[in-house]
Amino acid sequence: MRLLLVALVGGACSQEVKKPIVTTDLIHGTGELLYDMYTAAYHRFLAHHVDKHSKSVREALEPMMPQDPVGDLCQKVGVEKQEIFRRVDSAAELASNARETAQVHGSKVHLVLSQVTHAVIDGFERLLPAHKGIISRTPGDLLLFCLWVVTVLYITLQIALVAFRISWRVFLFGLKLMCCCGCLAPIRLSACVGAW
C-alpha cells in the first residue's frame, strides 16, 4: 500500500508544467527593442545636434512668429478667439468622456474574453493533459497561439502538396516511360500519349 502511495505521489510530482510555446512577450519585447534602438540612435547621432542648435533655431524663428498666432488667425477668418477656445475645451471634454466610456467597455470586453480564454484553454488541457501549460492564460496569448498553429499547419500542408505533386509527376513519368519503351505491349503508343 505504501509503495503504491509513493508511486502515485512520485508520478504526480514528476509531471512538470510545460512552458508556453509563444506568448505576447515576444511582441512586447520586440517593441521594447525597437524603442531602445531608436533611443540609442537618437542619443548617438542627433541629441548633441538638437542640444547645440535648438536654442539658435528657436531664436531665429521667434521674430517671424506673431505674438498671438491664434488671435491673428481668428481675426483673418472672422471668428472670435474665445469661441475657438470654448470649442477646443468642449472637444477635450468629449474626448475625455469617450476615453472613460471606452475604458469601461474595454474592461467588460476583456473580462468576457478572459473567461472565454480560460474555458478554451481548460478544454484544451482536458483534451491533451500532456500539454498542460503550453498556452498562457491571456486572450492575446491564445490568439497568438492559434495564429501560430494555423501558420504551422498551412506551411506543413504546402510542403505536403509540393511533395505529392513531385511524387505524382515521378509516377506519371515512370508510367509514360514504361508505355513508350514497349514494356506494356498491349497498349499502343498513340493511346499512351493521348491519355497523358
Determine if the pTM surpasses 0.95: no
* Contact by Cβ (8 Å): 148, 136: no
- Mean pLDDT on 121-142: 92
* Percent of the chain residues past pLDDT 90, beyond the cut: 55
* Contact by Cβ (8 Å): 171, 51: no
Q: Which pLDDT value is given to residue 8?
A: 42
Q: Which pLDDT value is given to residue 71?
A: 86
Burial (CB count within 10 angstroms: exposed 0-12, middle 13-18, buried 19+), residue 88: exposed
Q: Which residue did the predictor score with more confidence, 25 or 121?
A: 121
Cα separation of 186 and 184, whole Å? 6
Is 97's pLDDT higher than 60? yes
* Contact by Cβ (8 Å): 74, 80: yes
- Mean pLDDT on 152-171: 97
- Mean pLDDT on 177-196: 58
Q: How confident is the model at residue 40 (pLDDT cuts 50, 70, 90)?
A: very high
